[in-house]
């Protein structure tokens, strides 16, 4: 069965500090990987996605993520966090060849200290 | 403006009273999907539709129905709501997968409370 694990429920970082949010997936086929952000009271917005090619992908708002097949991971990073980054972040997996079903992690809530 | 809209945004209802949450997109997307979001569980897919008159179950379809009579609309129907369907619901749409685009565009959410 497919699954997505985000091991950190809450993370607090200071403004200006670096950030890494972890995502591990369990998937038998080649995965399509996504990171979404949800600001309070809002819908989800796509930060970045990985389908193939370069395993380091750049997204919006200064975020990047690295796909590591050997570790089944797709961690999200940002070198310097801004207060406006406080939100909940979701990792999601879709299956190459079956474009209809998506699996989301349980989310990581990011708090940014001034 | 390209968007996915949901109505209502907030709904409080009682057990057993049929309700419909509407979802509409203006991007001519083939694919649409419904999710529910619960604390600690992330988003779970309820139903999806690959095109008009083509729908299929996601991971948590029990207690829900959908229809896709028009490309732009994908309503979620709860025939007999129960308290365990209290949740935050999101509709999403995406262009044709065959074009290699899998990004989903999400609506603003509908917060449903069933008492």
CB contact under 8 A, A51 and B100: yes
Task: Tell me the per-residue pLDDT of B35-59, one tens digit each, with 9 for 90 and over.
Answer: 999 988 889 999 999 889 999 999 9
- Considering only the beta carbons, identify the residue of A42, A46, A94 that sits closest to B108: A42
> Which of B56, B103, B109 is closest, CB to CB, to A100?
B56
CA A16 to each of CA A35, A82, A86: distance values in angstroms, whole numbers, following the listed order: 21, 6, 12
Cβ of A104 within 8 Å of Cβ of B35? The answer is: yes
Query: Quick one: which of B13, B5, B81, B90 has its CA closest to B44?
Result: B90
- Measured CA distances, B22 to A70, A75, A114 (Å): 42, 35, 40
Tens digits of residue pLDDT in B101-110: 568 899 999 9
Residue B83, classed as helix, strand or coil, is: helix
pLDDT digit string, tens, across residues A39-53: 988 889 999 999 888
pLDDT of res. A53: 85
Q: Please give the Cα distance from A51 to A30 (Å, whole number).
A: 9
CA distance A91 to chain B (A): 9
Instruction: Determine the Cα–Cα distance for residues B115 and B96; give it in Å rounded to an integer.
Output: 38
Q: Which residues of A57-87 are buried (b: 16+ CB within 10 A; e: fewer)?
A: bebeeebbbbbeeeeebbbbebeebeeebbb
Across-strand partners of A44?
A: A38
Q: Find the CB nearest A46 among B50, B97, B103.
A: B103
Determine, for residues B31 and A42 on separate chains, whether the beta-carbon distance falls below 8 Å.
Answer: no
Q: Where are the alpha helices (DSSP H) in A3-105?
A: none
CA angle at residue B36 from B39 to B72, to 5 degrees? Answer: 150
The answer to whether the Cβ–Cβ distance between A104 and B33 falls below 8 Å is: no
What pLDDT was estimated at residue A41?
Answer: 80
pLDDT: which is higher, B96 or B19:
B19
Contacts across the A-B interface (CB distance below 8 Å): 58
């Amino acid at each position: 069965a497919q699954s997505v694990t985000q091991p950190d429920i809450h993370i607090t970082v200071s403004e200006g500090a670096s950030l890494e949010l972890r995502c591990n997936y369990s998937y038998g086929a080649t995965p399509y990987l996504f990171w979404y952000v949800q600001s309070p009271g809002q819908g989800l917005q796509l930060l970045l996605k990985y389908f193939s090619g370069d395993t380091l992908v750049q997204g919006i708002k200064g975020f990047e993520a690295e796909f590591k097949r050997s570790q089944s991971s797709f961690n999200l990073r940002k070198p310097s966090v801004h207060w406006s980054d406080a939100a909940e972040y979701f990792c999601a997996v879709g299956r190459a060849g079956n474009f209809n079903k998506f699996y989301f992690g349980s989310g990581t809530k990011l708090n940014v200290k001034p | 403006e390209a968007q996915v809209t949901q109505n209502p945004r907030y709904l409080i209802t009682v057990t057993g009273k049929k309700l419909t949450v509407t979802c509409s997109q203006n991007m001519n997307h083939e694919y649409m999907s419904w999710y529910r979001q619960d604390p600690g569980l992330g988003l779970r897919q309820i139903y999806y539709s690959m095109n008009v008159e083509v729908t299929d179950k996601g991971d948590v379809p029990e207690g829900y129905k959908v229809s896709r009579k028009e490309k732009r609309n994908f309503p979620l129907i709860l025939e007999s709501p129960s308290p365990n369907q209290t949740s935050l619901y999101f509709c999403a749409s995406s262009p044709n997968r065959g074009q290699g685009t899998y990004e989903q565009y999400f609506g603003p959410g509908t917060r449903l409370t069933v008492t």
